Amino acid sequence: MIAGDHVVNTQNIAVGDWEDLKKALNDSGIGEGDVAELSQAIEKDGRKMGSGVKGWISRNADKVLDHGLKLGTSVGTTPLTDYLKRHLGLP
């Protein structure tokens, strides 16, 4: 996935490996409190891209950083969605 000149390798996120996902999110500018909220959303949605996970992505997309610069909501949703699909094992 490419966002601007920032390359995100979702292959570094093993399916089901919470620590890989957490590291990718932290590296992208998502804080610990927001990551904890995501954990609850994933549990609530039954490990799929349900309303809780999609809502979390919408609320946090503007926090995603690209080389220290905020990407904004419309661009930030793409890496978050890609990270979560990889973690959940979705195409």
CB atoms closer than 10 angstroms to residue 86: 23
**Residue 4: predicted pLDDT:** 41
40's enclosing H/E stretch is helix 32-45
Q: Please report which confidence band the pLDDT of residue 1 belongs to, taking 50, 70 and 90 as the band edges.
A: very low
pLDDT over 70 percentage in the chain: 76
Per-residue pLDDT reduced to its tens digit, 11-40: 689 999 999 999 999 988 899 999 999 999
DSSP-derived letter for residue 47 is S
Domain boundaries, the chain: 2-88
pLDDT higher than 60, residue 5: no
pLDDT higher than 70, residue 57: yes
Q: What are phi and psi of 54, to 5 degrees?
A: -65, -40
How far, in Å, CA of 49 to CA of 57, rounded? 10
Residue with tokens 């000149």: 5
